[in-house]
Amino acid sequence: MIPIAASALMWLLVASLLILRRGRADRSIMYSAVTIAVAMTFNVDTTYRWADAVLGGTNIVTLLADLTLMVGVFFLGRGVAKAMQYQSRVAQIALGLPVLAGAVVGAVTAFAFIDRGETTTTFMLDLGAQPAAATYSIIQFTYDGVVLTAMAAAASRQIGRSRGAERLPAVSVLVGSLTGVTLSLVVIAMDLAHIIGNLTLMDGLSAAYDPLFLATFLFLCLGLGAQPALRWARARSRGEKTRALLAQVTPTWERAIDVRPGLSQLEPSFHREDDETRLHRQIVEVRDAVIDPRVTFTLSDAERVAVESAEAHLMTGDVARSPDADARPADVPDVGRPKEAH
């Protein structure tokens, strides 16, 4: 059930990101969500058996799904670091292509030495006693742990830079990253216990696998989805306030251009501009009419309050569109393979 739920949630997340993050220049988070969703889909038993049968029934789909997952975690880490503007030297190394390439080469090499037998949906449970299989799993989860540690550092930094509800995505990413690191350590310990034949220890550790996996998945997905959702909510709220202020200022602006015609009257495109641009131009023309000595134009107290409120609103918009405004958390991996729950 875990792979099915994880796969369904990941594809739902992909769909939501296509809506909430459309137009974003950086695609790392989207690439991450898609590749992780694909990896989790191939971990569903029915899909796994079908795909592995097509490829010869030697568990080669395990390698393909796990490599896809590693690539997804790679994009995830880079997306989180970029969104949170975390560029430490250590993080750059941990999230770099050379580390991913080394992990991929190591995993492929170890996998080549595994006596894989026929298709099995409990790969590590059946084959984990082989040194090559244990090495294969340890390489993957070591890489996951490294990336998640970098993500936890980025999220911790972002929490200190955020305020109020804006902290929630970063907190979620931090919790998910820490549970993911713990999951990686538990799996590595299980692999070592299996290879030395301590099945009692392995079984004891396996009890923590499912809860840690679900917690990692849940909190990281929340962090990934919350960031664009908050941005969308802020944009919607701001748009409603802009339209309300525009309705308040427009009568004053119309009165101003009656006594002092402005450029807006001469430009057919004025009424096709976005609301904030129109509001800005109206305020400028109202202010010009007030200070122009050639005309007599004064504001009532109510009009002055409306114009000043609109000016303050537009000034906060400049801050909101600054680079730091996009420095919010981001992403969500899905470390671990449920069918590996030993």
pLDDT at position 40 is 87
Tokens matching residue 317: 């918009």
Q: What residues contact 202, with CB distance under 8 A and at least 6 apart?
A: 190, 193, 194, 342
pLDDT at position 328 is 38
pLDDT at position 21 is 65
pLDDT at position 334 is 37
pLDDT digits (tens, 9 = 90+) for 105-145: 999 999 999 999 899 988 998 899 999 999 999 999 999 99
In terms of Cα–Cα distance, which of 3, 12, 13 is closest to 223? 13
Give buried/exposed letters for 76-105 (b at 16+ CB in 10 A, else e). bbbbbbbbbebeeeebeebbeeebbeebbe
Cα 321 to its chain centre, rounded Å, is 19
For 51, other C-beta atoms within 10 Å of its C-beta total 17
The DSSP output letter for 342 is -
Tokens matching residue 88: 């430490």
Distance CA 185, CA 50 (A): 31
pLDDT at position 226 is 80
In terms of Cα–Cα distance, which of 135, 75, 127, 130 is closest to 108? 135
Q: For the whole model, what pTM was predicted?
A: 0.75
pLDDT at position 99 is 95
pLDDT at position 26 is 61
Question: What do you get for the CA distance between the two ends of the chain, in Å?
Answer: 16
Distance CA 159, CA 320 (A): 18
Burial level of 319, CB count in 10 A (0-12/13-18/19+)? exposed
Instruction: Name the helix (H) or strand (E) containing 336.
Output: none
pLDDT digits (tens, 9 = 90+) for 268-292: 556 567 788 888 888 888 888 888 8
pLDDT at position 264 is 64
* Chunked mean pLDDT (size 10), the chain, 342 residues: 76 80 68 89 92 93 95 90 80 91 96 93 90 96 95 88 80 93 96 94 91 86 81 84 90 86 62 78 87 86 89 72 39 40 42
Distance CA 331, CA 225 (A): 8
